Amino acid sequence: MDQAGAGMSDIVLDSLRSNPKLIRAEQILADFEAGYPDTRVIVTLRPSAAASALAARSRRSVQVPAEFKRPGAPIFYNLRDRSMREELRKTVGETVARVSSQLSGTGMRETGRFSYQFGFSAEVTPGKLQQILTHPEVIAVEKDNVQQVHLAQGIPLIRAAVPRNVYRGSGVSIAVTDTGIDVSHPMLGGTPFPNAKVIGGYDTGDNDADPTPGSSGEAHGTACAGIAAGNEGTYDDYIGGVAPGAKLYALKISFGTGGYARDGDTIEAWEWILDNQDFDPGNPILIVSHSFGGGRYYSVCDESLPGLTTAAANLVAAGITVFASSGNDGFCDSMAAPACISFINSVGAVYDANLGFSLGFCLDPAETCAGTVPDSRCSSGNQMAWDTTAADKVAVYSNSSPLLTLFAPSHYAYTTDIVGSGGYNTSGDYIHNFGGTSAAAPYAAGSAAVLQSASMELNGSFLEPDQVRQQLVNNGNNLTDTKVSLTKPRINLANAVTAFLSDTHTLTVTRTGTGSGTVFSNPGGIDCGIDCSEGYAEGTMVTLNAAPDLGYRFKGWAGDGCAGTGPCVLSMDQDRIVAAEFTSFPWPLFQPAFTGRSGGGDETSFANE
């Protein structure tokens, strides 16, 4: 490039660097600064007027989940309502098609369109990116990041043996967003796709209908699927997945035969799940297992990753619980994306047993608080972190931070591999030493499937995503990651299911007064006017909030220890009845004040109240 061309390029990059629509501009511009002619981005558009109307209808029709009320949270749409879901899909499709058409041309190659959020992914040049940012309907552009895989049975450790034999995850499907599933494995159906175990799926990484890895593909997704919901059976130490009765969906997000995937392809996979949640009405998709990730985030990353965050939020709005691996970098104060998203349950890793020897993991000493030593087997910049093994010991590589939701087993997981000479074990169909937080996420996903199966059988309904989280967290065994002194629960599935069988207490809400309004609970269950009574397991902490209708006010709580107008927090150690009083405003709202003045009669003024 001549000096004039280089100067013009610098001017463009400087302009881009200061553009407020770019999220984490340094990530987006890194490829250009390294000399590459283009980079991959996710473009977010302004929601249409029709979508705004849908959002308003959603707020009127159901209780808005608490996580959607945080500042900066994605827009809540009632995606349980299939007609609203279809309306949203229609207006998103029309808007994205129109704007993409306006922006198409030299310098942009569209790589994907989204269905339930206003956006698309594309490969763009610096000049084209500058043009995109000037479009009035473009509100943000972020990097289309690359995620990578997060590389004896943990079932007894999480006390899943009895629950899985009783409830099995039947009537529930788990979507595994990974490198595809080898459906030819006997524990994963054993017949061509789709089959009785893997009942559907898609390859968003390569944009085709075959979500299997092939004999030469990456076996990571096959291993994760075997942990979550492989068929029951015995092969050496393999006894089937945590939820052997659950069905599986294979969403291959990786491109080619390797272990890498882009954020845009992950968004497309999660939206495919929305489209096909009830493909088999007897086995709805209620859980997503995601063992990919990348980057480092010290706090909730919703604003840094709006595309993935909106996709995850839409899954939660549809009643789907998402688990993601926290990552294997040995971070002590942070974790990878997408586990850092507030709508996702992040899962760290513990050893499932004393393996009888120490294990070494190559970590960057500048990024971990774990002790490391130089070792020629580690790549440049990394050193070896040696770890003694024991049941329930947090693995040294497991990323930890206050964001972490829970722990689950990892090394050494005995699970399914690609059949034949492919995969990790080229001389067999199983791998005996699968690990990392990649293994922990499907353990959690399988546990959630058993929990949902138990809830349907015992209570006649599935749990909301926040209830799944609370049930697993509240009934887990607290463990401390000694490298950072962080304590979080490790899944105890027997305790979580037993909570359904032990004392359940009923919370009843009544509405009194001359006004009207709604009372809702966290965790979910109470949405009164519609549903004013709910059973909760012994010891569950329930928070009630009151929202008056337009033109009325909330006067306060009465009964069972609640008073005032703030949130009502209850411990469900007995049946409880709480009354919420809504009243009309005094009328008129602004009372006239009369002031007498000598010689001038009465003068009227109005109080500014």
pLDDT band at residue 533 using 50, 70 and 90 as cut-offs: confident
For range 372-384, the mean pLDDT: 91
Lowest mean pLDDT among 17-31, 54-68, 102-116, 581-595: 581-595
| Same domain flag for 87 and 197 | no
Residues forming a β-bridge with 537: 504
Please indicate whether residue 595 or residue 519 has the higher confidence score (pLDDT). Answer: 519
Please indicate whether residue 458 or residue 330 has the higher confidence score (pLDDT). Answer: 330
For the chain, the average pLDDT equals 90
Which of residues 100, 124, 144 is at a domain's end? 144
> Quick check: 479 and 520 in contact, CB under 8 A?
no
The residues, any chain, with a CB within 8 Å of residue 437's CB and separated by 6 or more, are: 150, 291, 325, 326, 327, 328, 347, 348, 349, 397, 398, 399, 410
pLDDT on residue 588: 47
> Quick check: 243 and 172 in contact, CB under 8 A?
yes
**How many Å apart are CA 316 and CA 163, to the nearest integer?**
25
Of 417-421, 500-504, 525-529, which one has max mean pLDDT? 417-421
pLDDT on residue 50: 97
Q: Does a structural domain hold residue 310?
A: yes
> What is the dihedral angle through the alpha carbons of 198, 199, 204, 208, rounded to the nearest 10 degrees?
100
Q: Does a structural domain hold residue 376?
A: no
* Burial classification of residue 50, based on how many CB atoms lie within 10 Å of its CB (0-12 exposed, 13-18 middle, 19 or more buried): middle
Distances (CA, A) of 245 to 101, 209, 345, 446, 447: 46, 25, 23, 10, 12
Q: Does a structural domain hold residue 48?
A: yes
| Same domain flag for 63 and 183 | no
| Same domain flag for 270 and 318 | yes
Lowest mean pLDDT among 254-268, 373-387, 528-542: 528-542
Structural domain range at position 165:
148-354+389-497
Q: Please check the confidence at residue 478 and state whether its pLDDT lies above 80.
A: yes
Q: Is the dihedral of CA 454, 492, 434, 286 positive or negative?
A: positive
Residue 409, preceding peptide bond in cis (omega within 30° of 0): no
For range 256-278, the mean pLDDT: 97
pTM of the model: 0.84
| Same domain flag for 310 and 445 | yes
Residues forming a β-bridge with 293: 148
| Same domain flag for 492 and 541 | no
pLDDT on residue 341: 97
For range 319-327, the mean pLDDT: 97
pLDDT on residue 340: 97
| Same domain flag for 110 and 162 | no
Q: The sheet that has 517-522: what strands, in order across it?
A: 527-528, 517-522, 541-548, 568-571
Lowest mean pLDDT among 236-240, 259-263, 361-365: 236-240
pLDDT on residue 155: 66
pLDDT band at residue 502 using 50, 70 and 90 as cut-offs: low
Please indicate whether residue 602 or residue 416 has the higher confidence score (pLDDT). Answer: 416
**How many Å apart are CA 534 and CA 508, to the nearest integer?**
7
The percentage of residues in the chain with a pLDDT greater than 90, rounded to a whole number, is 72
Instruction: Please report, in angstroms and rounded to a whole number, the separation of the first and last CA atoms in the chain.
Output: 68
The gap from C-alpha 47 to its chain's centroid, in whole angstroms, comes to: 22
What would the pLDDT profile of 412-442 be if each residue is shown by its tens digit? 899 999 999 899 998 889 999 899 999 999 9
Which of residues 466, 497, 528 is at a domain's end? 497
Q: What is the CATH number of the domain that holds 527?
A: 2.60.40.1140
Q: What is the CATH number of the domain that holds 197?
A: 3.40.50.200
| Same domain flag for 103 and 157 | no
Task: State whether residue 486 is helix, strand or coil.
Answer: strand
Q: Please check the confidence at residue 353 and state whether its pLDDT lies above 90.
A: no
| Same domain flag for 152 and 54 | no
* DSSP secondary structure, 354-416, as one string: --SS-EEEEE-TTT-SS--B--TTSPTT-EEEEE---TTPBPTTS---TT--EEEE-SSEEEE
Q: Does a structural domain hold residue 597?
A: no
For range 211-237, the mean pLDDT: 93
What would the pLDDT profile of 191-216 be if each residue is shown by its tens digit? 999 999 999 999 999 999 999 999 89
Q: Does a structural domain hold residue 188?
A: yes
Q: Please check the confidence at residue 5 and state whether its pLDDT lies above 80.
A: no
pLDDT on residue 154: 61
Q: Does a structural domain hold residue 449?
A: yes
Longest dimension (CA), the chain: 109
What would the pLDDT profile of 135-160 be if each residue is shown by its tens digit? 999 999 999 999 988 754 566 766 67
pLDDT on residue 609: 30
pLDDT band at residue 595 using 50, 70 and 90 as cut-offs: very low
The amino acid at residue 348 is G
Q: Does a structural domain hold residue 365?
A: no
The amino acid at residue 189 is G
| Same domain flag for 465 and 509 | no
| Same domain flag for 39 and 87 | yes
Q: Does a structural domain hold residue 433?
A: yes
Task: State whether residue 595 is helix, strand or coil.
Answer: strand
Query: Domains in the chain: how many in total?
Result: 3
Of 323-327, 359-363, 380-384, which one has max mean pLDDT? 323-327
| Same domain flag for 397 and 546 | no
| Same domain flag for 281 and 405 | yes
Lowest mean pLDDT among 7-11, 311-315, 372-376, 537-541: 7-11
SS (H, E, C) 292-340: EEEEEECCCCCCCCHHHHHHHHHHHHCCCEEEEECCCCCCCCCEEECCC
Which of residues 126, 144, 162 is at a domain's end? 144
